[in-house]
Amino acid sequence: MLPYILNLMMLHRNPYHLAVPAVLILAVAVMSCQANKPVERILKKLKLEYTVDFEGDYRVKVELPDGRETSVGVSLHTTFLDDNVRVREIWSVAARIPGDLPEELAENLLGDTWSSRKFGSWALAGMTSDGRRVLVYVTRIPEGSSPRVFRAALMDSAVSALDLQDALAHQEETSGD
């Protein structure tokens, strides 16, 4: 019991015993908010509408010159490419496919990525609660990319996903005839 009382007494003599943890907590909170500021600043500069989802990722409304519009996701967090470069993911959902990805579609997407995609690629981003695979077009850009590169990545993801949606819808229509 005596060591416990001595420890309490020592805590009261140390003027920093509460201040240091409080400052550390505040610093972490400020740093986590700062990570969002560049994305928000760019989205506002580009005059784009957005919301923030339950995971903290941004959902950006992208309107294309041809009148189509879609939602494009921008990851809250960045990941390390190597020790010096962090990248941010920007993606758009192209399809939710029941069961396995058809082999012919997978081959076409791989060929498309190789032959015509400069910025991003096709990926499976998980499964929905009803067991469908989520097919996305994902672009990864350096964390400090300019607003011009950021917009180009948003547009590339939106156009790629919408074009595949249109192609899959057209295929369904023609195969149903």
CB 73 within 8 A of CB 109: no
Asked if residue 129 belongs to a domain, the reply is yes
Residue 147 lies in domain: 48-175
- We report the CATH number of the domain holding residue 74 as 3.30.1460.10
The reported pTM is 0.74
Asked if residue 30 belongs to a domain, the reply is no
Asked if residue 3 belongs to a domain, the reply is no
Asked if residue 63 belongs to a domain, the reply is yes
3-class DSSP state of 118: coil
The H or E element containing residue 52 is strand 50-52
Asked if residue 116 belongs to a domain, the reply is yes
Asked if residue 13 belongs to a domain, the reply is no
Q: How many independent structural domains does the chain possess?
A: 1
Asked if residue 17 belongs to a domain, the reply is no
pLDDT in tens, the chain (177 residues): 555 444 544 555 555 554 444 444 444 444 444 445 689 999 999 999 999 999 999 999 999 999 999 999 999 999 998 888 999 999 999 999 998 888 888 888 898 888 888 889 999 998 999 999 999 999 999 999 999 999 999 999 999 999 999 988 887 777 765
The torsion of the CA quartet 94, 96, 100, 102, rounded to 10 degrees, works out to -40
